[in-house]
Amino acid sequence: GKVIVAANRDFWLSTSKLYVPHLRQTTVPLQTVWFSLCFGSYGIYVWINTLFEEVNLNDTYFNELLFAASNLPGNLICAYLMDRTGRTTLLIGSMLASAASLMAFAYFATDFWQIGIVLSACAFQACAIAAWNTIDCITSERFPTAVRSTGLGVCAASGRIGAMLAEFVNASLVSSPVRLLLVASITLIIGAMTPCLLPEGDFTLRPLVDDVDETSSSSSSSPSSSSPQPSDREGEERPMLDSRRTSSTGERIV
């Protein structure tokens, strides 16, 4: 009993740290992204077979296999672009591309163009997995070490709520695939705009914050103030150069 009480106390203490003023600006936007990404992606993953049947797609299971296989190129493209484009840019771009793919899916569904339906569904899967890889990376980098696991858990829990809500919404819309796809697309667009609210810019290739207090102070300190100026370095190097110019007998070396 005491172990459970202590665990609950530690959990609530760690969770409360996520909503102090300087960390709340990170926690809430990330929770929003997780919610919208889970709502827009898991809702499609679960209902994709039914959607294929509703739009009268031939050979449903083979096309579902193609849908699942498009996960691989999405992972490869994400791995290539992650450090080149920046985390935030990649997240926004992949979520917007996922939303655009669902809109294309809805358009092709109205025209019953089967090749377009399959291609747009596969494009959605590839872009969505890129968004998932990126949000995992951003979430683990944004929180200080002391609350990193708690922050990731809280954001993931927000995503699960979105995924559960999507099941009820999609169940009521599955007979109208176009409406279902548009709802998921709009949700992804809302989530794609949220990373712009994250403070301190992009964390790509930057050192991680290791303490909760550093998060509040890092926004007020600039990189130029934390590193010595070139003039200071020159002043530190002059005595060393002068000492190297003196011989062992104490005479100056010309």
101-138: pLDDT as tens digits:
999 999 999 888 999 999 999 999 999 999 999 999 99
The three-class DSSP label of residue 252 is strand
So what's the pLDDT on residue 29?
94
Q: 1 or 198, which is more confident?
A: 198
Alpha carbon 52 to its chain's center: 29
The three-class DSSP label of residue 57 is coil
pLDDT in tens, 83-95: 899 899 999 999 9
pLDDT level of residue 210 (50, 70, 90 thresholds): low
Residue with tokens 């499609």: 44
Residues contacting residue 67 through CB under 8 Å, at least 6 positions apart: 48, 118, 121, 122, 125
CB-CB contact of 195 with 134 (8 Å): no
Beta-ladder partners of 252? 246
Alpha carbon 6 to its chain's center: 32
3-state helix, strand, coil in the chain (%, to 5): 80, 0, 20
Beta-ladder partners of 246? 252
Whether pTM exceeds 0.85 = no
So what's the pLDDT on residue 6?
73
Cα dist from 237 to 231, 232, 251, whole Å: 10, 9, 20
Q: How far apart are CA 63 and CA 41, in angstroms?
A: 18
